[in-house]
Homo-oligomer: A and B are copies of this chain.
Amino acid sequence: MKLTIDHKSPVPLHIQAEELLRRLIESPEYIEGKLLPNEVELSKKLCISRTTLRQSINKLVYDGLLVRKKGVGTKVAESKSLSSKSKNWMSFSQEMSARGIPIKNFELHVSWVFPEKRIASFFEIKGDKKILKLVRLRGRPEGPFVYFESYFHPSVGLTGEEDYKSPLYEMLEKEHAVIAMISKEEISAIAADHFIAEKLETVIGAPILFRKRFVYDLNEKPIEYNLGYYKADSFVYTVESRRE
C-alpha cells in the first residue's frame, strides 16, 4: 500500500493526505477505535506541515470517520458513534416485523424497463439498457397501505427470476453478495393522484407520505432507487438525531 506523499504531484498535499488516511483507517489494524499517531509526529512522517495534515483530518472528522479528543488523540470512529446521524435504518420487512405487523403482498410485478433520466443518472449509467423494475403493493390483510416502485442497478446481477416474496435485502446479501449499507431518503407529503389512489384503495387527493429512497452499498455505489407511497396514518417515520 502506498503510504507516502508526493510533493511534486499536482494533487494538493491535503488531498493526498486525506486519501492516505482513508486507506489507512480501512486497514485491519485500525478497525476498533484505535488511536492514530499524533498530529505532530504524523505530519513529520508524511513530510507535510501540521496545518495541512489537520486540514485532511478535519474532513474525515466531518465525514464521521475520525473522532478527535483534546489531550487524548484522534481515533477511528466506532460504528456506534455513527448513530448520531440517525438510527439503524431498516428494510420494509424489518420495519413491519419490528412493529409486529403481518404483511400481505397484494401485487408483485417484475419487469425490465429503460430507466428514466433521473434514475439513470443516479445509477451513473446510460439510459439505453434496460434495468430491473420491481413493483410491490403491500399491506395488512384488510387492505394495502403502501405502494413501492424499485429500480436496481445492473451490477447487482438480478435476473428477475428471484424469489421476491422473501425479504429482499437478505436475498441480495446471500445470493448476490450485495450489502445495502447507506440509505438517503427524502420524505414529503403529497396528495394521491388517480393511480396511487386506485392502488391504495383510497380517494384522489388523499394525503400520502411519499418517500424517495436511495440505497448504496459499502463503497457508496448505488444499488437501488426506491419510491414508496404510504397511505396516511399507516406509517410514521421516526428519526432520532443528536447535535455535536
Known contacts A188-B235, A232-B188, A236-B188, A183 near B88 by CB under 8 Å: no
Closest B residue by C-beta to A79: B244
A183-201 CB contacts (< 8 Å) to partner B: 183-191
Given the known interface contacts A79-B244, A189-B232, A207-B189, the answer about A238 and B85 at a Cβ–Cβ threshold of 8 Å is no
A154–B240 CA distance with the chains assembled, in angstroms: 23
Q: Is the CB of B239 within 8 A of A184?
A: yes
Contacts of A191 in B (CB 8 A): 206-207, 232
Q: Is residue A181 within 8 Å, beta carbon to beta carbon, of the partner chain?
A: yes
Cβ-defined contact, A189 with B205, below 8 A = no
Contact indicator per residue, chain A 143-186, by CB within 8 Å of chain B (1) or not (0):
00000000000000000000000000000000000011111111
| A97 CA to B187 CA, complexed, in Å | 19
Question: Which residue of chain B is the closest to A214 with respect to CB atoms?
Answer: B240
A209 touches B236 (CB 8 A): no
Residues on A close to B: CB < 8 A? 58, 62, 79-80, 82-83, 85-89, 179-191, 205-210, 230, 232-233, 235-244
